[in-house]
A and B are shown apart, each in its own frame.
Chain A
Amino acid sequence: MKYWWWKVLAIATFSYVLLAGLLTPLKSGIYSVDKTKGLLGSTLSLHVETYNTYMSSALQNVAFLKLSDNKVIRSTSINEINDYTAKINFELPSELSTGKNAERATLIINNEVDGSMILPNAILLKQDTTLIKQNGAKWTALDVASLFPNKGFRFPYRNKLHETIRNTFFHVAIWFAMFILLIIALVYSIRYLISKDLQFDYKAAAFTNISIYFGIIGLITGAIWAKFTWGAFWTADVKLNMAAISVLIYAAYWMLRSSIRDVDSKARIAASYNIFAFVVMIPLIFIIPRLTDSLHPGNGGNPALGGEDLDNSLRLIFYPSIIALTLIGLWIANLTYRLQIIHDKTLEE
């Protein structure tokens, strides 16, 4: 137990990830709006449901419909029904004056308690050609300085994702940890082939073993996340299928090891297969999904690990989570390896 500190680090970091990752609230957001269209020149009355807000205790609720920074309509009135629902009235100007017939406007609600909530492309504003009323409502510029800022440490609110954004700390981090452990396994496999020292083979086997478990966790957690955001546990998506294939390729490593009796040829074949499996995994997971369309973030023009999907507040939990899960994997691989050594010794005696 000379080098025990990293085990304590693993437990402490993962406890931090669980506590901070599950207890930090989301930012306020707009959950639903009852209308998607508005006729220009008329009054638009919206029934809005918000998430994680205190609208009835806020005194300075204000809403905007925004086309661009210079084209904004301020709400005429807001009736807060409770903390999470409100009726908002807009007096729409009679013309878009952009040359277009219709344009999507972003809905913004702001108050001093919750800060700003934004629903992009919420309302389609349409020109009414039959009747052009002049109601005096005009586009104004958005005075950003008058908006109340968001307060406190909070995770971003994303439509459709909602609370599931916390799965980033587990689903994404376990794939990262798996990848790090597989690199370690690859290094040990190469070292075995160079030195023919059996302890490197045992280490490579231990790391590959726990990596496959991590991969299975990644697939199942991904399926659960997909069910809550895409509506299905599994779709015929490239990223999903390729990830499943690469886990299966590694699962074949298990069968390969258990099917060969002779220790030396087992170690040699397993080490070569491990190198093959790693080399195959890289195009399967990192290259092919990027070449085509995919629902999964990080592929085919679908950026990940940036923007609002992984902002700095999420990074504060996400990176420690990768470290914690990698250390837990190291720990378990270490136990498996030590057991294998003892197993060998008992057979020799």
Chain B
Amino acid sequence: MVRNYLISSILVFLPWLVKADSLDFFRSTGKMYSVVAVVLVLFIILAIYLIKLDKRITQVEQNKKHES
């Protein structure tokens, strides 16, 4: 729940954060967004892997608890 809330709040505020001052040369052609999107995708997919790893570790931990 907490995680979903965090993700959705970041997604809601992202355009507002990015559009703060959009007239400088860095963002004037709009192509800087592609670099931001690429870095985000890289991080999000690595994060998905880490979440899955986290779940597997929890599983192993619970297996150990049941045995002892």
Q: Are A339 and B53 in contact (CB under 8 A)?
A: yes
Q: Are A224 and B28 in contact (CB under 8 A)?
A: no
Segment 37-61 of B: residues with Cβ below 8 Å from A:
37-39, 41-42, 45-46, 48-50, 53, 56-57, 60
Minimal Cβ-Cβ distance residue in A for B62: A346
Across-interface contacts of B21 in A (CB, < 8 A): none
Chain B CB within 8 A of A57 CB: no
Q: Are A170 and B45 in contact (CB under 8 A)?
A: no
Q: Are A339 and B31 in contact (CB under 8 A)?
A: no
Interface size class of B (residues with CB under 8 A): 20 to 34
Interface size class of A (residues with CB under 8 A): 35 or more
Across-interface contacts of A347 in B (CB, < 8 A): 63
Q: A210-B49, A213-B45 are in contact. Are A18 and B39 (CB under 8 A)?
A: yes
Chain A CB within 8 A of B32 CB: yes
Q: A51-B25, A339-B60 are in contact. Are A167 and B53 (CB under 8 A)?
A: no
Inter-chain CA distance A170–B56, complex, in Å, is 28
Across-interface contacts of B46 in A (CB, < 8 A): 213, 217, 328, 332
Inter-chain CA distance A342–B9, complex, in Å, is 37
Q: How many A-B residue pairs have CB under 8 A?
A: 79
Mask: chain B, 7-43; 1 = CB below 8 Å from A; 0 = not: 0000000000000000001101111111101110110
Minimal Cβ-Cβ distance residue in B for A162: B31
Inter-chain CA distance A217–B37, complex, in Å, is 11
Chain B CB within 8 A of A174 CB: yes
Q: Are B60 and A174 in contact (CB under 8 A)?
A: no
Question: Could you say which of B30, B42, B53, B57 contacts A170, with CB atoms under 8 Å apart?
Answer: B42
Q: Are A228 and B34 in contact (CB under 8 A)?
A: yes
Inter-chain CA distance A216–B58, complex, in Å, is 25
Minimal Cβ-Cβ distance residue in B for A329: B46
Q: Are B31 and A217 in contact (CB under 8 A)?
A: no
Across-interface contacts of B38 in A (CB, < 8 A): 167, 170-171, 221, 224-225
Across-interface contacts of A166 in B (CB, < 8 A): 35
Q: Are A225 and B60 in contact (CB under 8 A)?
A: no
Q: How far is the CB of B27 from chain A (nearest CB, A)?
A: 8
Across-interface contacts of B32 in A (CB, < 8 A): 163
Q: Which of B37, B38, B50, B63 has the most CB of A within 10 A?
A: B38
Chain B CB within 8 A of A245 CB: no
Q: How far is the CB of A289 from chain B (nearest CB, A)?
A: 21
Segment 207-244 of A: residues with Cβ below 8 Å from B:
210, 213, 216-217, 220-221, 224-225, 227-228
Q: Enumerate chain A interface residues (CB-CB to B < 8 A).
A: 18, 22, 31, 51-52, 84, 161-164, 166-167, 170-171, 174, 210, 213, 216-217, 220-221, 224-225, 227-228, 328, 332, 335-336, 339, 342-343, 346-347, 349
Sampled A-B contacts (23; CB under 8 Å): A51-B29, A161-B31, A162-B29, A163-B35, A164-B35, A166-B35, A170-B42, A210-B49, A213-B48, A213-B49, A216-B45, A217-B42, A221-B41, A224-B37, A224-B38, A332-B46, A332-B53, A335-B53, A339-B53, A339-B56, A339-B57, A346-B60, A346-B63
**16 further interface pairs, Cβ-Cβ under 8 Å (given A217-B46, A343-B63):** A84-B25, A163-B26, A163-B32, A164-B34, A213-B46, A216-B45, A217-B41, A220-B41, A221-B38, A224-B37, A225-B34, A228-B34, A336-B53, A343-B56, A346-B60, A346-B63
